[in-house]
Structure 1
Amino acid sequence: MLPSLIELQNALEDGRTTSVALTQAALARIADPDGEGASVFTTVWEEQALAAARASDILRAAGLARSPIDGLPVSIKDLFDVAGHVTRAGSAVRRDAEPAKRHADPVRRLAQAGAVLIGHTNMTEFAFSGLGLNPHYGTPSSPWDRARRRIPGGSSSGAGVSVADGMAAAALGTDTGGSVRIPSAFCGLTGFKPTAARIPSGGMFPLSASLDSIGPLAASVSCCAILDGILSDDARRAPVAPPPSRLRLAITNSLVLDGADDVVRGTFNVAIERLRAAGVIIDTLEIPEFSELAHINRKGGLVCADAYAVHREALETQFDQYDPRVASRILRGRDIDAADYIELRALRAQWIAAIEARLRNHDALLMPTVPVIAPTIASLQASDEAYFAANGLILRNPTLINFLDGCALSLPCHAPGEAPVGLMVAGPAHADARILDTGLAIEGILGVR
């Protein structure tokens, strides 16, 4: 089991380790030729990280620890500016871009809290896929069933594997349609997609201004809550797990289990029965609006429209440098006109209102984060048909919550040694504190920490 941020911080406080030792261990795992480091990181900041670790140890010796992440190695998705370094966004298009002049807002908050920034992590090009494949910088494999090399999930692929393989204590990711929660599910981690407006995105290369959100991948719900508090500059209390008998949760048969494989369906059902046995009230709701989303987004949706606005000039001059599977999706936005876009935003507002009304009496909605276990990298590299079918299915459930402008945790619900399966604990916008509280209770009942 991965150590939590609190456990690592206690070890620092007790003198059982130092920030330098933790950072050196993380760097050694990154550099291990038998490991995944070469495809997990696009850039490693060894000298900078060790300098930050030494500074943290000096401050701690003087009684000046800055936060619960002070001195801990944190990886940064290669979508965020880090001063002095190129933000490639997983693309060859930006390989020779100018180095950033300043930290992105979330990176600055982590650095001010004492995090040791260890490197930029690999990702799907421009964050536009839930699978994690990258033809430019390689694709790291999920920690489970490594002999068969299964996808890590995307787009925050390197972020997930960096934490799962001990190359970082936590990771900074983004989530436009599940890009924090999907790699968390496939890598056996906990990930949190907050209400988008709570965390500033200055200095982040955008995919969709309408849907982008910023969140952490880590070992536990409490870890995610610590990081969320720093990223949002919100000094809220730590999450508190309510008694099981006070929880009223919802599940639905509308869409979210369609196409689920036997492993995910069985693991999800076992988790629900364990929650019920502990005294949690779980109601089944009909949410027909979920099945309407594919039609609402039939022309490509907000994400394609927003992405095309960002990329249209580069697509004209550097098209041959794009991943063709990414470029083809961005180009769908070319055919969405202003009237379509205005209609989409109006339909979204109506859709959100309808679902918020259905969830009004429940603490959270539960569903599988992803309805299938991770497929192999080779099977998706070999076939466009398999790639796009898997991408649509893997993104489907998380995307519901992005379109809702909601917040959600993905936490492990599988037995040790079995294929990783994520349980999504979701709610509407600004229900973040309630979702973290509820997630902490579920984590305790399922015994995943």
Structure 2
Amino acid sequence: MTATKDRSYPSAVARLETALARIHPPQAKNVFTTVLADSARWEAEAADRRSAAGASRGPLDGRIVSVKALFDVAGTVTSSGSDVLRHLPPAVEDAEVVKRLRAAGAIVIGKTQMTEFAFSALGTNQHDGTPGNPRDRARAPGGSSSGAVVSVIEGMADIAIGSDTGGSIRIPASLSGAVGFKPTSGFVPTAGTFSLSSTLDTIGPIASNVEDCFVTDQVLSGEIAPSRLKGASPGTFRLIVARGRLFHRCESDVLDAFENAMERLRRGGLQIKDGSIESALDDVAKIDKIGTFPSIEVGATLRSLGLGELDGVDLRTRVRIEAGAGVLGTDYVRMVRLRQAAIQSFEKCFGNNEVFILPTTPIRAPLLSSVAADAAFHELNGLVLRNPRVANLLDCPSVSLPLPFDGLPVGLMLVGRRNSDRRLLEIASCIEATLRPA
């Protein structure tokens, strides 16, 4: 629903003031790094004027949007969650995606907290502090788009824009209970964004429902004639459960929630069968034996920003960057070639209108105290990355949906064929509707 079509809907100005009030209480600590209150108020007033004149710019007009701290916003420093980048001059213009949001009438309320350089998945940040999981503040929110997911669930924004290099949108969506969408690379421009990995970086939305992700993705990707979401009909697609190693080490509550969801979807008329992506995982493992793209490529980003040394970088981040620095150029080229072959091979695994389905993360949100030690942090960080990162390496669109839960959230992940972004979201909408509590 948009404010332009329902006079009973609160004005953009009123909704913005409510959102701003939610940002500042002590329990909301560490969610935002920058609050753009003055410009957001101007944008809200402009949205209300357009609404009164019947001149809406589309479904995002008057919606409140937060953006991750790695996006350039004119007049602010793009610190990307790190102390060592705070010396940079303020950005002179908005990132391309921020420009598109503003042009669509979105109200940009501020920049949200993230893990340093977007290079970890639990949502912790030793420089700026960690926002607590909105379902249990003693637990990790998921990352790297940590503040993004909290801003949505706590009503500080309608929609959050994050980045996803190995799951950084879908992991917080899973651990905190939201919808997160990662597009196929190339559809959404990354210009004006701190780059963790030029090979794997993608930009997408976190929201409370699939439709908001759908309309936001259209704006981010520059859709000239945006359409409204129409959910897929149950008989027009098939879900393939990606049984195998991506189910290993799943918590019993995660497995129970997943299998209960499969049963409900079957009762709803959806076609589901067991399958495998083990051959694709073997291809991914060949790349991993050489190195990881983020470890190598973020070093190049930092050097381009004038950072020659890693003094002041969180040691947990630093050790991974230093590992990438030891990869030979010839081995990096091998990684690129192996990935291209893996992408082409994986596309052949899909039948017509087939989507792979599996748990987004094998565990629920861990206690922050449980990841205080380095060894535990690295183990759980790798575990929550394990399933989502496959879609990045194989360049597929992917979405995480929250499963009905009592207690800590569990995420359900869909992986679609490369470039099937719109169709995947239509299928996700059908699944969302089928799983919705009666």
Give the structure-1-normalised TM-score: 0.93
* Residue 408 of structure 1: how far off its partner (Å): 0.7
Aligned to 1:151: 140
Aligned to 1:261: 251
Aligned to 1:328: 319
CA contact (8 A) 1:130 1:391 kept: yes
Aligned to 1:162: 151
Inter-CA distance 237–52: structure 2 relative to 1 (3 Å threshold): closer
Per-residue displacement from partner, 1:303-362 (whole Å, max 9, x unpaired)? Answer: 212112222577975522111111111111111112111111111122122221112344
Aligned to 2:337: 346
CA contact (8 A) 2:3 2:12 kept: no
Q: What is the aligned length?
A: 436
Letter in 1 for 2:387: N
SS at 1:140 equivalent: coil
User: Equivalents in 2 of 1:286, 1:76: separation in Å?
Assistant: 36
User: Equivalents in 1 of 2:374, 2:289: separation in Å?
Assistant: 20
Inter-CA distance 241–316: structure 2 relative to 1 (3 Å threshold): closer
- Residue pairs, 1:172-211, within 5 angstroms: 172-211=161-200
Aligned to 1:86: 77
Aligned to 1:287: 277
Inter-CA distance 10–442: structure 2 relative to 1 (3 Å threshold): same
CA contact (8 A) 2:238 2:353 kept: yes
SS at 1:20 equivalent: helix
Which deviates further from its counterpart, 239-248 or 393-402? 239-248
Aligned to 2:234: 244
Inter-CA distance 100–427: structure 2 relative to 1 (3 Å threshold): same
Which deviates further from its counterpart, 345-354 or 397-406? 345-354
Inter-CA distance 435–313: structure 2 relative to 1 (3 Å threshold): closer
Aligned to 1:13: 6
2:218 counterpart (212, 223, 229)? 229
CA contact (8 A) 1:412 1:448 kept: no
CA contact (8 A) 2:4 2:51 kept: no
User: Equivalents in 1 of 2:10, 2:244: separation in Å?
Assistant: 49
Letter in 2 for 1:218: A
Per-residue displacement from partner, 1:363-391 (whole Å, max 9, x unpaired)? Answer: 211011111000011221x2101000001
User: Equivalents in 1 of 2:125, 2:7: separation in Å?
Assistant: 41
RMSD: 1.7
Task: Confirm or deny that 1:22 pairs with 2:15.
Answer: yes
Per-residue displacement from partner, 1:253-278 (whole Å, max 9, x unpaired)? Answer: 22211110011111011111111122
User: Equivalents in 1 of 2:404, 2:280: separation in Å?
Assistant: 25
- Residue pairs, 1:86-165, within 5 angstroms: 86-146=77-137, 149-165=138-154
Aligned to 1:45: 36
User: Equivalents in 2 of 1:86, 1:326: separation in Å?
Assistant: 21
* Residue 213 of structure 1: how far off its partner (Å): 0.2
2:410 counterpart (421, 426, 429)? 421
Aligned to 2:55: 64
Letter in 2 for 1:373: R
Give the structure-2-normalised TM-score: 0.96
Task: Confirm or deny that 1:296 pairs with 2:287.
Answer: yes
SS at 1:440 equivalent: helix
User: Equivalents in 2 of 1:313, 1:205: separation in Å?
Assistant: 11
User: Equivalents in 2 of 1:13, 1:393: separation in Å?
Assistant: 45
User: Equivalents in 1 of 2:232, 2:49: separation in Å?
Assistant: 39
Letter in 1 for 2:427: T
- Residue pairs, 1:403-414, within 5 angstroms: 403-414=393-404
Per-residue displacement from partner, 1:93-144 (whole Å, max 9, x unpaired)? Answer: 1112111111100000001111111111000000001111001111011111
Inter-CA distance 338–22: structure 2 relative to 1 (3 Å threshold): same
Letter in 1 for 2:73: V
Letter in 2 for 1:394: V
User: Equivalents in 2 of 1:313, 1:350: separation in Å?
Assistant: 29
Task: Confirm or deny that 1:384 pairs with 2:377.
Answer: no
Between the two proteins, what is the percent identity of the paired residues? 42
SS at 2:387 equivalent: helix
Task: Confirm or deny that 1:32 pairs with 2:25.
Answer: yes
User: Equivalents in 1 of 2:185, 2:388: separation in Å?
Assistant: 14
